[in-house]
Copies of this chain bind each other. A is one copy, B any other.
Amino acid sequence: MQAHGYSGLNFRELASEVGIKGASIHYHFRTKADLGAAVARRYWESSDATLGALWDRYADPKEWLLHYPETFRQSLENDNRMCLASFMSAEHDDLPESVRIEVQAFAEINVKWLTRAVSAATGATPEESERRARSIFAAVSGAQLMARSRADIGVFDALMDGYRHFGLIPT
């Protein structure tokens, strides 16, 4: 799904990757919307766990923000894929409600995590921290977008350097 989005996801192709037939998927997921929602849910739950691990790995709050972009970088490393949040926007209007909910959850957990990290790293007020958290999340998403469109992960790294250089991401 991170490769072709929701509309690009089809039962037969997915099934063959798993080693079964397309019709068999309907046994586990009644509709495509159910399937999509399940995939999206598993995705943000996994991200949630990754962020939790990152939080535990470092004691210095600044380290959290410095390493945050890595969670997005991994998608690009893995076959030039993109995070669901990005597909979410592109396909937003065509997404079944159940899928949209799960996909938005991804953005929420990211902003929540970032807000806490920014707060701890800079001592800013909760409002200011959330404001910066949203800015960082949007900016990093945009960077992932650019990098994918050039199929060049170096673009992503350069943009992260830029964000730090211009002070968007506290160092």
Taking Cβ atoms with an 8 Å cutoff, the residues of A that contact B are: 3-5, 7-8, 80, 82, 85-94, 103-104, 107, 131-132, 134-135, 137-146, 148-151, 158-159, 162-163, 165-168
Contacts and interface: CB of A to CB of B under 8 A. Distances in A.
Given A8-B7, A167-B166, A86 B134 contact: no
Q: How many copies of this protein are present in the complex?
A: 2
A134 B162 contact: yes
Nearest to A79: B93
A90 B82 CA distance: 7
Contacts of A8: 7, 91, 94
B80 A135 contact: no
A87 B7 CA distance: 13
